[in-house]
Structure formats: structure tokens, C-alpha cells
Amino acid sequence: MITVGVEEEYLLVDPVTGAPMPVVENVRRTAGIGPFAEVDEVQDELLQAQIEVATPVCWNLEEVGGHLLRLRHAVGSAAEANGCRIAATGAAPLRGAMPVPVTRTPRYLKMEGEARQLVDEQLICGMHVHAGIPDRETGVAVLNRIRGWLPTLLAMSANSPFWDGRDTGFASWRTLVFGRWPVSGPPPHFEGLADHEQRVEALVASGVIADRGQVYWQARLSDRYPTVEVRCADVQIRADDAVMFAGIVRAMVATAIAEEKAGARLSVMPPELVQIANWQAARHGLNGTLLDPLGRPHSSGDVLYALLDHIAPALEEAGDLRVVSALVHRLLRDGTAADGQRRALTEGGLPGLLDLLTGAAASD
């Protein structure tokens, strides 16, 4: 059984205006001394109006869901104790009149000095899924075999339609904001581990990025853990949707490992097609066509069913097929979280939108 872990980022916002509140240190301190979270499970982020949680290593999706609910409750309660709420949205609907201060660590201050406007606009939140791998050579093979499916995951997870108080026209504006960093977007295809290491080291040696941690590909090998880290998804409003993505990513990794062991043929999607598929997914979410891993356009429903069919044996083996299939069908019926944000704003204005983003994050 492949292990799995999830990291989630949230915004800290004013409960009335929705403006970001730079109070992460107070919230972290309060969460860390409470009964529901360990200090190292709650971390700061680049900007002082962001906070991150990380589950322990998990063996099944029930564990993932339990830890996410526990951590959301801990951070949500700590936020309320400090006069704010956590908002589970991929991008801040409102940014406020002044830039949010950078968290004062040497790393983040250096980033601010080198890319001030980019840093000021990093009020975006994602979810990262770590799936265990036996070794880094296998990990590179996994990256090669899942890269064509990353745009599908992005479309499914889209949860950031608003920015600066208006609709961007994109389902995942976070993807466009994050894509401006030097090394970002879908990963390239690699010839093997040696090729991967040589290319990553060349990126660092260029001096444009500070270290390997700034290789922000949407899927990458973790340098801290024996995992593949899939980073393309917006943070989810509902905890059970995050659980769904954890199950899907784990099954994708398991399927890739099995295919590699069996010597299955790999069709390499050209980088320009992966890039355009990624843009299309960020633009429309599930409200349009998606490109499959061969670069062919299909309805979003057909591509999601193709993904489910592709990973079904791995889901079955892990005992996840029923729960993941049910959640995917709900997603196709109800739409993405971006669709939900738009409905909430139309029906309830800004208060309705804030209720959706903060109420579900605190209690789901």
C-alpha cells in the first residue's frame, strides 16, 4: 500500500470584509497550544495572511479525512480566537488596499527583494498530495507517466475564479498567478533519474532560483520525503473533496509504478500540448473541453471517466474505488468549487461568498 499525505494552505481573512489579515503568527501560536494540532502540523507561508497545515503520513483515506478535519478545526478555532476566519479558496477574492507583509524569514525576504510584485500577489492557496515511492528512479518514471493527467486534476480542483473584487473569467486564477515563477507549470519529460538531477542542478546553477525548493513544477520529487508531490490543485472548500484528490493521486502513482514495472509503452505528450492543456483547464475548469494525455480534445466528463477507468484497478486494490467514484460523480453533477463560488456570489453577494469559503473550511 502506498502512503499518502496532504498539505493545505488557507487565507486568513476579516470575517466581514473578506480582506486578508496578516496575523499568521498569532494564529499559529494559538493552534499549536490547543488540543487538536501539534506545532509542526501548522506552518506559516510566504505572506502573513496565509497558513498551512500538513497531515501525518497516512495509509488510508479515512485517516486523511480525519486529520484534515482535525487540522481545519484547530486552525479555524485559532483564527476565530484572533478575530479572523480561514478561507479555503485558491485565490483571495479581495486583496485589500495595502500589500500583505511577507513572513520575516531570510528565504521569504530574499524572494521579496528579487520579485516584489510577484510576492505581493501570492495570495493564493493550493493543496499538495504526497504519495510514497520506493526510490527516486521510480519517482521520475512516475512523473513521466502522470504529467499528461495533471491538467485534468487541475480542472477538477479549480477553486479561484475571483481576484481584486471581480470575476477573472478563469476557473483557477491561482494557476495563472503561480505560473509566473521561473520554474513552474507542468514538469518536462525526463530520460531517467540522471537526466532529472542534471536538469534540476542546472536550474539551480543558473542563479535564477535560490535552491531546489523553488522548482515549482506541478508534480515533482520531494527532497524532504520519499514521495512524489502533486501540486497542481487549488485548495478545496470541502474536506471530502481533498480526500478525493488524495485517493486519485495515490491511484495515479500506483498505476504509474505498475505500468513501469510491466514495461508498458509510454506516449510522451509534447510540452506545448501539456502547456495548452493546462491553460485550458485553468480557464474553463470542467465547463468545456479538456485535452486527454495524448493531447486530444474531449468533453470534460469523458476525460474524467477515462481517468477513473485508468486508475480503477489501483483504486480497487486500495479499497478506495467506491468513495472516490461517488465523489467524482458528485463533482460532475454539481460542478467545481469555482462554480460554487460563482453561485454563492450571485445568490448571496459578498456575504454569501464569504460564508461559503469560511464556513465550510471551518466546519466541513
CA dihedral over 228, 233, 234, 236, signed as positive or negative: negative
For residue 213, CA distances in Å to 170, 340, 347 come to: 28, 33, 41
Task: Decide: 304 and 156 in contact? Cβ < 8 Å.
Answer: yes
pLDDT at residue 362, as a whole number = 53
Q: Is 220 helix (H, G, I), strand (E, B) or coil?
A: strand
pLDDT tens figures, 282-334: 999 999 999 999 999 999 999 999 999 999 999 999 999 999 999 999 999 99
Distance CA 325, CA 331 (A): 10
DSSP assignment of 253-311, as one string? HHHHHHHHHHT---PPPPHHHHHHHHHHHHHHTTSSEEE-TTS-EEEHHHHHHHHHHHH
First-to-final CA distance of the chain? 27
Largest pairwise CA distance in the chain: 56
Read off the DSSP letter of residue 57: P
pLDDT tens figures, 116-140: 999 999 999 999 999 999 999 999 9
Task: Decide: 227 and 246 in contact? Cβ < 8 Å.
Answer: no
pLDDT at residue 40, as a whole number = 78
Q: Compute the radius of gyration of the chain from its Cα atoms.
A: 19
The pTM score is 0.96
CATH number of 4-347: 3.30.590.20
pLDDT tens figures, 141-164: 999 999 999 999 999 999 999 999
Distance CA 248, CA 277 (A): 19
pLDDT at residue 97, as a whole number = 81
Distance CA 302, CA 312 (A): 15
The amino acid at residue 232 is C
Average pLDDT, the chain: 95
- Please give the helix or strand (H or E) that residue 249 lies within, else none: helix 239-262
For helices 321-334 and 239-262, the axis angle rounded to 10 degrees is 120
Chain centre distance of CA 164? 21
Q: Is residue 359 predicted with pLDDT exceeding 90?
A: no
Task: Decide: 318 and 205 in contact? Cβ < 8 Å.
Answer: no
Which phi-psi region, left, alpha or beta, contains residue 295 (left: φ > 0; alpha: ψ -120 to 50)?
Answer: left
Residues paired with 4 in a beta bridge: 58, 131
Residues paired with 50 in a beta bridge: 11
